Amino acid sequence: MSMFKKLLASVGIGSAQVDARLDKDSLIPGEIVRGEVHLTGGDVSQVIDEIYMYVITHYEREVNDAKVKEECILLKHRLTERFTLQPNEQKVVPFAFRLPYETPLTMGRQPVYLRTGADIKNAIDPGDSDFIEVLPHPLMAKALDAVKELGFQLYKVDCEFNRHLGRTYPFVQEFEFRPTGQYRSRLEELEVIFDLREDECEVLLQVDKRARGFLGALEEAFDLDERYTRFRLAAADLNRPTAEIAGWIDELIRRAIR
């Protein structure tokens, strides 16, 4: 190889191309992501240390009274060991990995995407990003439907920095509901946070009472108007009528605002 071609390879000119192709781009948390990475060699042979795939999302953090977006890597999956890709060679690498259970849903403007790349020493990293749709797990959907059945209307979904409630990652996804039914005069909002695992889902409810009078205003000023309660759903609960789950939530809310 001439020195000129070596230089071209080192700065990324004429280097490998990477294209990830998913079997499907609509998934639920905990589902297996399957597909293939298609590699095309450039003008020169190149040693590729590894092919990797990241699952990435964003969350908001408050810094100096302003909200900033930060990137969060949910998972890094290694597809290959070190190998050499010859000029114009085409190579297909299949992959399969589990989407983390804590992957946020792509509701509202919440992005989740897969970033695929090839690690080539001293070269511009060739890569490919693919946005995916993350839909509610059946246990999450059951809880969301039950909340709506009580007359709550979803108006905001976002991922917020929260070291206290976050488990693996420094954020939680909050589903904010406003009451339109029986709780309209008693609650400001209801926030729902999910802790999804392989065989169950814990549902955290933050009940925000509507301020009433001087005492209510005082509670609101010190965030004492917020109450937390929780319940769990397992696979067997998927067969329960949504109205029954709504009844559980209704009772928990009533206890929280007494």
Instruction: Verify that 84 and 108 share a domain, yes or no.
Output: yes
Instruction: Verify that 128 and 170 share a domain, yes or no.
Output: no
Instruction: Verify that 145 and 96 share a domain, yes or no.
Output: no
- Express each pLDDT in 51-88 by its tens digit: 899 999 999 998 888 889 999 999 999 999 899 989 99
Question: Is the pLDDT score of 222 beyond 50?
Answer: no
CA-based R_g, the chain, Å: 24
Q: Which amino acid is located at 51 in the chain?
A: I
Q: Which three-class secondary structure state does DSSP give residue 66?
A: strand
Residue span of the structural domain in which 101 resides: 14-134
Of 134, 158, 189, which residue is a domain's last? 134
pLDDT above 70: percentage of residues in the chain: 85
Q: Which three-class secondary structure state does DSSP give residue 17?
A: strand
Of 37, 47, 113, 135, residue with least CA distance to 84: 47
Instruction: Verify that 122 and 142 share a domain, yes or no.
Output: no
Of 57, 75, 249, residue with least CA distance to 172: 57
Structure tokens at 200: 């169950």
Mean pLDDT of 19-28: 93
Q: How many domains does the chain have?
A: 2
